[in-house]
Amino acid sequence: ILKSFLLFISGNNHMKEENYRAAVDCYTRAIELDPNNAVYYCNRAAAQSKLNNFREAIKDCESAIAIDPKYSKAYGRMGLALSSVNKYEEAVTSYQKALDLDPENDSYKSNLKIAEQKLRDVSSPTGTGLSFDMASLINNPAFISMAASLMQNPQIQQLMSGMMSNAIGGPAAGVGGLSDLSSLIHAGQQFAQQIQQQNPELIEQLRNHIRSRYLSGSTEEHS
């Protein structure tokens, strides 16, 4: 037990020095000597997350929770790891559980709000979960090529024509112009669906790019 504790302390020191691989090694050796210590798993999860090994971090948090179901920090760290692999619904559940156990923790509160916002963005019926950065789009050669190809499609030409007609005051102009916003939204959804069908890899790339920006707002609770 003493040796495992010393390895745990060594792992914590490596974390402070941002030597995360060495920290994982120390925590792993501590776990081998004392496999029923939830704290060891939870701290290894933190180190794994720093190395972007999020699925391993989730497994470690699950192990910690299995040993100690009331370990709030394990739920909080699992929430971070789940958010990092875009499992926002599960992340929200984890943060809520962490807050149930530690209601005054500001880190859990802020990260819960971030996860809830991401979940709303992904589930948004008006944007298929995408909030595109237009600067990134117009500078992306793959998007330019795809857009040129799409514009040759008669269906896309009709969609764009309809959107422009509504936007500048076609049949839906006047008092009812803006009231027909739902038609514009619907046309935009169809356009996004066409892009998804043409190049799903680019859509996923853009999603990951946007989500990585969001993740920078998440806060980690220190050991």
Residue 67 is part of a domain; what is its CATH number?
1.25.40.10
Asked if residue 25 is part of any domain, the answer here is yes
- How many domains in the chain? 1
74 lies in some domain = yes
**Residue 187 belongs to some domain of the structure:** no
pTM above 0.85, yes or no: no
Q: Per the domain annotation, does 208 fall within a domain?
A: no
Dihedral angle, C-alpha 105, 117, 206, 191, nearest 10 °: 170
Q: Is residue 149 part of a domain?
A: no
Share of the chain above pLDDT 90, in %: 52
Say if 67 falls within a structural domain: yes
Q: Which residue has the higher pLDDT, 202 or 53?
A: 53
Query: What are the tens digits of pLDDT across the range 143-191?
Result: 566 666 666 666 666 666 665 565 455 444 444 444 445 555 555 555 6
Torsion of CA 132, 138, 139, 141, to 10 degrees: 100
Q: Does 24 map to a domain? A: yes
Domain extent for 73: 1-123
In a domain, 141, yes or no: no
Side chain identity, residue 106: D
Whether 97 has a pLDDT exceeding 70, the answer reads yes
Phi-psi region of 86 (alpha: psi -120 to 50; beta: other; left: phi over 0): left
